[in-house]
Amino acid sequence: MASKYAYSYSLAFFFIATIVSAQLSSTFYDTSCPGAFHIIKYIVNDAVAKEKRMGASLLRLHFHDCFVNGCDGSVLLDDTPTFTGEKTASPNNNSIRGFDVIDTMKSHVEAICPQVVSCADILAVAARDSVVALGGPSWTVQLGRRDATTASFSAAKSDIPKPTFDLSALISSFSNKGLSTADMIALAGAHTIGQARCISFRNRIYNETNIDSSLATSLQSNCPSSGGDNNLSPLDASTPTVFDNYYYKNLVNNKGLLHSDQQLYDGGSTDSQVTTYSQNMVKFYTDFAAAMVNMGNISPLTGSSGEIRTNCRKTN
């Protein structure tokens, strides 16, 4: 069963990123657990076949993990008597999901390679396989992350970009994690799949003027001016379950669902890159894959740091 299953700053960051990259390796588990990634891919494909939205959910888990103290699997930890986990922080509460799918992956990987493959690496691989399952690009995942032994509710509240952010706040948020503006625009393309809660875009559809009027009207029926906070709408209404470049086409036509989405194409410095992606899906795919590798390199725990959890929801 398991077998299925400013210049100086830039220069400094270049060296830091190089060191971090050197700590991770695409061949990290080639001898210790070569079968793990067949299992993860099988379970991702099965979960996405049952529910297309799950692909977006698994991708989002990796993003929300990496933006809080690095890619360390902390987003998966449940609350304990000694710390409050990240799951109930405002960007995550009633929003992130897919924990049961990660649990399935972990249990099957543990069955063949006990305490070898980290939850953080499972998240990174599952994110890649989810994108592929929905028709998007693949990339070589760098591996060797270890798992955090604690989580940060406060960092989850403060560090994950908010749907209300304007362009300058978005750029700062990604820059704080060592990611460029170009990375940010490419990673935003993850919103070509998945859904958002009404509470995340209500103000946009009722009060903003840079939104297509027909889109706003259609969304208002599912997102009333009060109530229905958890009602869902697709981030890309054109092709909501296909990983393509329609997200950017929508932005060019003022059809971005979130305020933060439309900020990428609103007469500012990022318009050109959005336009390029809207016209050239291959370019988007290439840049998205590279940006995902960059994001996966945010402050990983390696060597003797952290641990390899046997259960992704709790420390050993």
Task: Kindly report, residue by residue over 87-115, the tens digit of the pLDDT.
Answer: 999 999 999 999 999 999 999 999 999 99
Helix (H, G, I), strand (E, B) or coil at 30: coil
Active site residue 62: no
Mean pLDDT of the chain: 93
pLDDT at 23: 85
The residue ranges of every structural domain in the chain are: 7-160, 167-292
User: Does the pLDDT value for residue 252 go beyond 50?
Assistant: yes
Nearby residues of 172 by Cβ (< 8 Å), 6 or more positions away: none
Q: pLDDT tens digits, residue range 197-206?
A: 999 999 999 9
Considering only the top CATH level, what class is 167-292? mainly alpha
Residue numbers in the known binding site for substrate are: 161
The residue-averaged pLDDT of 21-49 equals 93
Do domains 7-160 and 167-292 share one topology? The answer is no
Find the range with the poorest average confidence among 16-30, 43-57, 190-204, 249-263: 16-30
Q: Is the distance from CB of 111 to CB of 2 less than 8 angstroms?
A: yes
Neighbours of 225 (CB within 10 A): 9
Q: Is the distance from CB of 268 to CB of 255 less than 8 angstroms?
A: no
Q: Is the distance from CB of 174 to CB of 183 less than 8 angstroms?
A: yes
**pLDDT above 90 coverage of the chain, percent:** 92
Q: pLDDT tens digits, residue range 73-82?
A: 999 999 999 8
The residue-averaged pLDDT of 292-304 equals 97
Q: How confident is the model at residue 10 (pLDDT cuts 50, 70, 90)?
A: very low
CATH topology of domain 7-160: Peroxidase; domain 1 (1.10.520)
Residue numbers in the known binding site for heme b are: 191
The residue-averaged pLDDT of 161-176 equals 98
Catalytic residue among 38, 62, 64, 108: 64
Instruction: Identify the CA nearest to 171 among candidates 156, 152, 158, 184.
Output: 184
Neighbours of 29 (CB within 10 A): 21
